[in-house]
Amino acid sequence: MNKATDPAALLESALLDALGPECLLGEDAKTLFSTDVYGEGIAPALVVRPQSQEQVADAVRIAATAGWAVTQRGGGMSYTGGYLPTQTNTMMLDLSGLNRIVSINEDDLVITVEAGITWQQIWEALTPRGLRLPFFGTFSGSRATVGGGLSNGALFMGTARYGSAADIVVGMEVIDARGRRIQTGQAAFHNGRPGFRQYGPDLTGLFVHDAGALGVKILASLRMMPMPEAADYASFAFATQQEATQALSAIGRSGFCEEAYIFDPATTRRSLDHATLMKDIGRLSNVIRSQSSMLKGLQEGAKMAMAGRRFVQGEVYTLHCVCAGRSVDGVRDDRRGVVKLALDHNGVEISNTIPKAARANPFEPLNGILGSQGERWAALNSKVPHSDAERLIVATEAAIDPYRERMAACGVTMSFLYIAIAQHVFSYEPVLRWFDEWLPVHRHVPEPDFLNELEEPSPNHEGRALVDEVRSKIVDVFAEFGAASNQIGKTYPMLASLNPDSRSVLRALKKELDPEGLINPGALGDFSA
């Protein structure tokens, strides 16, 4: 096609003029960004990495004026098609260039950051100041970004007490499809500064967990807190899933913990293998540094090395807890409360190696994007009230049962993660695992030494198709329960599941912010239907 009339060439030329050649990425980026952790999509025709907030606004305005779709990628850790294009004429924004801290206000306990900064970068900036975020990151926080976390419901570190990323944000700046720079929170007002989130309707909440469908986040202001003065850990073994999940709910409701989560037997076994033990021994220096004194650090490190992770026999569920607070006495009391609740549900206290090691080094390299044997994985997530947890688990297991024979034949296995959130919510995460050829992201993200120890599996088309089928059934179960899910992306039927009146309001909001439906088409659901 003649470049003078080729839409891609015309848009590329306009972007080059506005942003400069350093902002346009090449074919390798297009290939990498055509996949997420789970699947493949259509490669974007153009990939742009803006270096400033103004360049984001310019790129969105230029692409939308030309009638092109715009998707946004942060750390690229989606496994629900969150940023994958649905059409060829797509410009993808790689927001990793927006990785600056704008301000740290220690008096007001508010940090303002660009949307492409990672949770690890914030942790490293705040720790020397004796500060942190209440919720302070995800398992993937060495790459996962604040913008992605706010769009997709990031949770884990600090979640049992403080909730998710949505619960700590006090304001944002978002670029809509018209190129408008929308401020939310107190900073949106004349002479206002970020601090309080609600003054009139909560505009910040409109853009939280929107899967990037309503606009492009460029800036966020987050609450900070003093770093806890003390921390302690507890782990327990349970003979049955029901006992473990009931204990998790009781501990979650109590508010004793910053983190409380269950590993199923398969995950527990993976956490006990020799390679993991050796890695934990390598973490001893981190454990020592994370304690309040050198003596306590040496004592804890010695116990950790001796215990290793060979503390569980048989098929058991393990529950892991982190208590943290302003004083040693207060944390000790919280831990006692945790122990009592666990023992009341027939738990047996075991070595607390797992939560201690996780807290000592919360942001590891993302070798876990593949399994320890090189297998791929695909997670799903549901969040329900504690009182619905047991019924949801039973219904999900029943939906999986008819597939178990085929799963065994195709080498598809499952594991489960259970998390307590902000005292009142239970998170249930089934994970499918299977051996299959790797996607570009699997070759790009892990450390080379880790990849060198693995052999890439052969293509497993039958297993992949079966995983798709089982995932779809599980998503249907979650929808029947009215469950909320992380990473809505293009996987969960969020829009279709809304009641009609609520759906019409969301459609009207989408129409106002994105009249032509160009911002991340397909995210949240089909707004064109």
pLDDT classification of 310: cutoffs 50, 70, 90: very low
**Angle made by CA atoms 73, 77, 83, in degrees to the nearest 5:** 35
Hey, what long-range contacts does 402-410 have (CB within 8 A, 24 or more apart)?
403/466, 403/469, 403/470, 403/473, 406/466, 407/466, 407/470, 410/434, 410/460, 410/462, 410/463, 410/466
pLDDT surpasses 80 at 529: no
- Spatial separation of the C-alpha atoms in residues 235 and 262, rounded to whole Å: 9
Per-residue pLDDT tens digits for 401-439? 999 999 999 999 999 999 999 999 999 999 999 999 999
With 90 as the cut, is the pLDDT of residue 289 above it?
A: no
Residues 346 and 422 in one domain: no
Count how many residues are written for the chain: 529
pLDDT at 75 > cutoff 80 = yes
Whether the pLDDT of residue 396 is over 70: the answer is: yes
pLDDT of residue 363: 94
Could you tell me if 85 and 116 lie in one domain?
Answer: no
pLDDT in tens, 256-286: 999 999 999 988 887 754 344 334 324 444 4
Q: Which residues pair with 114 in a beta bridge?
A: 219
Pair 185, 299 in one domain: no
**What band does 112 get if pLDDT is binned at 50, 70 and 90?**
very high
Determine what percent of the chain is predicted with pLDDT higher than 70.
91
Task: Assign 1 a pLDDT band (cuts: 50, 70, 90).
Answer: low
pLDDT digits 0-9 by tens, 115-158:
999 999 999 999 999 999 999 999 899 999 999 999 999 999 99
Per-residue confidence (pLDDT) for residue 269, from 0 to 100: 82
For the segment 29-65, what is each residue's pLDDT rounded down to a tens digit?
999 999 999 999 899 999 999 999 999 999 999 999 9
Lowest mean pLDDT among 80-89, 302-311, 438-447, 511-520: 302-311
Sign for the CA dihedral angle at 20, 26, 29, 31 comes to positive
Question: What pLDDT is attached to residue 296?
Answer: 56
My answer on whether 65 and 178 are in the same domain is no
CA distance 180 to 74: 21
Range of the domain at 407: 367-480
Enter the DSSP assignment of 35.
B
> What does the block give as tokens for 236?
């327990």
pLDDT (tens digit, 9 = 90+) per residue, 467-497? 999 999 999 999 999 999 989 999 999 999 9
Question: 360 has which bridge partners?
Answer: none
Of 226, 256, 276, which residue constitutes the final position of a domain? 226
Residue 137 lies in a domain: yes
Examine the domain organization and report whether 213 and 321 are in the same domain: no
Cβ atoms of 414 and 472 within 8 Å: the answer is no
Task: Flag whether 501 is in a domain.
Answer: no
Same domain, 350 and 443: no
List, for residues 357-389, the tens digit of each pLDDT value.
999 999 999 999 999 999 999 999 999 999 999
Q: What is the mean pLDDT of residues 210-227?
A: 98
What's the rounded Cα separation, in Å, for the pair 190 and 199? Answer: 12
Q: Are residues 463 and 416 in the same domain?
A: yes
Q: Do 307 and 379 reside in the same domain of the chain?
A: no
- Residue 309: per-residue pLDDT: 42
* Percent over 90 (pLDDT), the chain: 86
Position 270 scores a pLDDT of 79
- Are 45 and 117 found together in one domain? no
Total domains in the chain come to 4
SS3 183: strand
Q: Do 382 and 462 have their domain in common? A: yes
Q: Which residue has the higher pLDDT, 315 or 431?
A: 431
Among 70, 148, 23, 174, which Cα is nearest to 520's?
Answer: 70
Residue finishing a domain among 69, 97, 125:
97
Which CATH number belongs to the domain containing residue 327 in this structure? 3.30.70.3450
Query: Are 337 and 234 in the same domain?
Result: yes
Q: Give the global pTM.
A: 0.90
- Amino acid letter, residue 257: C
Residue 288 has pLDDT above 90, yes or no: no
pLDDT(294) > 80: no
> What pLDDT does residue 268 have?
87
For residues 227 and 486, the model is more confident at 227
Contact (Cβ atoms closer than 8 angstroms) between residue 323 and residue 334 = yes
**Cα–Cα distance for residue pair 215/176, rounded to 1 Å:** 4
Check if the beta carbon of residue 194 is closer than 8 Å to that of residue 185: yes
Among 65, 97, 129, residue at a domain's last position: 97
Shared-domain flag, residues 208 and 107: yes
CB 79 within 8 A of CB 379: yes
Of the candidates 22, 29, 127, the residue with the CA atom closest to the CA atom of residue 73 = 29
The predicted pLDDT at position 272 comes to 54
* 3-class secondary-structure state, position 487: coil
